[in-house]
């Protein structure tokens, strides 16, 4: 049986090759207790208030008016929202204490010295009932420059069992021939919405996506080879979360960063 998730993209999708992508790349979860699942939730220092204060100030500065981020969805219009998104990614020097902590924390967890990939810190802003604020189901590594990395999802505001990141347990080791995927991104023509990452359109394995739902003093660590996304916000408040990728802190990791620098320079995010 084949399961279809985005019917309008079926004609644009292609079944993958007979290969498990992670088998030929670096698996940074290899020496962790969450390697078999492809994700894990771990206790960590709570930086939510610091991050809320940062976003409160930064967003108010961008818009030239004071807003409370908990009311973001009702105070920020679409043009202002795009303006805010296009200021990202933030850089790790803007979060010096947090960045030092999280790099050290992840290096200890992974038993491997890692750094924040390209010094980029992303904030996902997902408004209630908005289909435009989250990516379709995908693997990050469909964008080549995200191979050999590992991801974290850190809740900031409005993240709970109705809004946190959705993912497919164990899918980081699925064969590519079990899924049909778009190429060169995904274009939903009915609403003229384009995404940079390819979308998983069909699957021979049913997707049973779950929300691990980390609390404010926890972090979700997951493989970029894991199928995730389609994370709608079913709350009545905006969900904000920190999304950071890590790569081995060596010459190979530094060289890999060059590709994303060019991508970000030429990409209008929304």
* CATH number of the domain enclosing 50: 2.60.120.620
Q: Does 106 map to a domain?
A: yes
* Mean pLDDT to the nearest integer, 36-62: 96
* Mean pLDDT to the nearest integer, 213-227: 98
DSSP 104-168: HHHHHHHTS-EEEGGGEEEEEEE-TT-TTSSPPSB-GGGSGGGTTEEEEEEEEES-STTTSPPB-
Spatial contact of 149 and 247, defined as CB atoms under 8 Å apart = yes
User: Using one digit for the tens of pLDDT, what is the confidence trace for 43-52?
Assistant: 999 999 999 9
Q: So what's the pLDDT on residue 268?
A: 53
Q: So what's the pLDDT on residue 184?
A: 92
Greatest Cα-to-Cα distance within the chain, rounded to the nearest angstrom = 53
Q: Does 187 map to a domain?
A: no
**Among residues of the chain, what percentage have pLDDT more than 70?**
98
| pLDDT, mean over the chain | 94
Q: So what's the pLDDT on residue 251?
A: 93
Q: Does 128 map to a domain?
A: yes
* Mean pLDDT to the nearest integer, 221-232: 96
**Where is average pLDDT lowest: 2-6, 160-164, 190-194, 239-243?**
190-194
Q: Does 183 map to a domain?
A: no
Q: So what's the pLDDT on residue 262?
A: 74
Instruction: Read off the pLDDT band of 244 (50, 70, 90).
Output: very high
Work out the angle between the directed axes of helices 78-85 and 48-63 (0-180°, nearest 10): 120
What gap in Å lies between CA 169 and CA 39, rounded to an integer?
Answer: 7
Q: So what's the pLDDT on residue 1?
A: 80
Q: What are phi and psi of 150, to 5 degrees?
A: -140, 150
Q: Does 182 map to a domain?
A: no
Spatial contact of 122 and 242, defined as CB atoms under 8 Å apart = yes
Assigned token pair, 167: 């993912």
> pTM of the entire structure?
0.94
* Mean pLDDT to the nearest integer, 161-185: 97
Q: Does 189 map to a domain?
A: no
Instruction: Read off the pLDDT band of 270 (50, 70, 90).
Output: very low
Chain position carrying tokens 């030239």: 64
Instruction: Read off the pLDDT band of 177 (50, 70, 90).
Output: very high
Q: So what's the pLDDT on residue 266?
A: 67
Number of domains in the chain: 1
Q: 36-57: buried (b, 16+ CB within 10 Å) or exposed (e) per residue?
A: ebbbbbbebeebbeebbebbbe
**Where is average pLDDT lowest: 19-23, 112-116, 256-260?**
256-260
User: Using one digit for the tens of pLDDT, what is the confidence trace for 81-99?
Assistant: 999 999 999 999 999 999 9
Instruction: Read off the pLDDT band of 267 (50, 70, 90).
Output: low
What gap in Å lies between CA 167 and CA 241, rounded to an integer?
Answer: 15
Question: How many CA within 13 A on the CB side of residue 56?
Answer: 12
Range of the domain at 148: 19-173+204-265
* CA distance to 2, 167, 177, per residue, from 10 (Å): 12, 21, 15
Count other Cβ atoms within 10 Å, centred on residue 220: 24
- Of residues 209 and 132, more confidence is placed in 209
What gap in Å lies between CA 138 and CA 136, rounded to an integer?
Answer: 6
Q: What are phi and psi of 124, to 5 degrees?
A: -90, 125
Q: Does 2 map to a domain?
A: no
Q: What are phi and psi of 5, to 5 degrees?
A: -110, -30
Q: Does 233 map to a domain?
A: yes
């Amino acid at each position: 049986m084949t399961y279809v998730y985005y019917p309008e993209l079926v004609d644009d999708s292609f079944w993958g090759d007979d290969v498990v992508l992670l088998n030929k790349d670096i698996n940074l979860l290899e020496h962790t207790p969450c390697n078999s699942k492809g994700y894990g939730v771990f206790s960590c220092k709570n930086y939510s208030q610091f991050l809320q204060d940062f976003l409160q100030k930064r967003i108010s500065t961008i818009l030239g008016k004071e807003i409370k981020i908990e009311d973001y969805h009702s105070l920020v219009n679409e043009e202002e929202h795009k303006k805010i998104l296009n200021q990202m990614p933030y850089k790790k020097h803007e979060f010096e204490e947090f960045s030092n902590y999280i790099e050290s924390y992840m290096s200890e967890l992974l038993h491997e010295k890692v750094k924040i990939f390209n010094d980029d810190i992303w904030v996902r802003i997902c408004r209630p009932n908005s289909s435009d604020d989250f990516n379709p189901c995908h693997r990050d590594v469909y964008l080549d420059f995200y191979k050999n990395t590992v991801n974290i999802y850190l809740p900031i505001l409005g993240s709970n069992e109705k809004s946190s990141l959705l993912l497919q347990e164990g899918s980081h080791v699925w064969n590519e021939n079990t899924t049909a995927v778009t190429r060169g991104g995904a274009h939903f023509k009915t609403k003229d919405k384009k995404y940079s990452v390819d979308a998983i359109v069909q699957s021979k394995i049913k997707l049973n996506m779950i929300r691990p739902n980390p609390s404010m003093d926890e972090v979700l660590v997951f493989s970029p080879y894991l199928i995730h996304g389609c994370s709608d916000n079913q709350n009545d408040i905006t969900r904000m979360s920190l999304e950071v990728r890590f790569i081995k802190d060596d010459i190979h990791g530094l060289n890999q960063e060059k590709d994303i620098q060019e991508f970000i320079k030429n990409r209008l995010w929304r």
